[in-house]
Amino acid sequence: MQHRFHVNASSDDDFRSSRNIAISLFKRYKNVIDRGSGDNLKEFISAGVNAYALGCTDEGLRKELMDIENSGLEIEGLGSCGGTSLKFKVHSSEIRECILWLGIVFITILCTPQPTVIRWSPTPPVSADVLHQWKGFCALIANAYYVKGMAWLPVKTLQLEQMAVTGTSEKPSVVASRMQLVFSTLEVVSPQWPRV
């Protein structure tokens, strides 16, 4: 059975312009960082999948966020439980990590066996450098997911992949969170098991 992911453009204009898409992704990234993964991570991934389908690129969205950072504008966060939302500035270290997450989501989509998400642009979603750095990592996880029905891999395996490609590897906790991002993306775009 083939699953297709449909773009859910929300009513609050999140997907009208690349700037709005970048802001929406960044808000959801901040939500994961501030409040933990789970549903917050799924929301980030869904926004990333929409950005992919709409033809966005990691570099285009990075530029939008850098422009916001350079202008000193504050972004209003996603409302919290108390109903008030905080405003925050965008910092380049957060932009780097947010766009890296987005690149991993985009590459994970590229690693699905059939096109699970239709992209409305011929432009590659990620730069050649990012693709080179992360394709093997995402492909290992996608292979485990589709072929072996696994939802976890040994962190050491993924660190070895990073070492082979870049000559360095990230800390085990960071590698584990990147692996969670890939598996969660696969669950969003290509669910394999019925929900219990």
Is 1 within a domain?
A: no
pLDDT number for residue 87: 78
**H or E segment and range at residue 122:** none
Tell me the CA end-to-end span of the chain in Å, nearest whole number: 19
Poorest-pLDDT segment among 13-17, 67-71, 135-139, 146-150: 13-17
User: Is pLDDT of 42 > 70?
Assistant: yes
pLDDT number for residue 12: 43
- The whole-number average pLDDT for the span 56-83 is 82
CB 22 within 8 A of CB 66: no
Is 107 within a domain?
A: yes
Is 116 within a domain?
A: yes
Is 129 within a domain?
A: yes
When pLDDT is cut at 50, 70 and 90, the band that residue 14 belongs to is very low
Is 12 within a domain?
A: no
Is 52 within a domain?
A: yes
**H or E segment and range at residue 75:** strand 74-76
Q: How many CA atoms lie within 13 A of 65 on its CB side?
A: 28
When pLDDT is cut at 50, 70 and 90, the band that residue 79 belongs to is low
User: Is pLDDT of 193 > 90?
Assistant: no
Is 54 within a domain?
A: yes
**Mean pLDDT over all residues of the chain?**
86
Q: What percent of the chain has pLDDT over 90?
A: 66
pTM: 0.87
pLDDT number for residue 194: 59
Range of the domain at 184: 18-189
Tally the domains of the chain: 1
Residue with tokens 């669910």: 191
Is 195 within a domain?
A: no
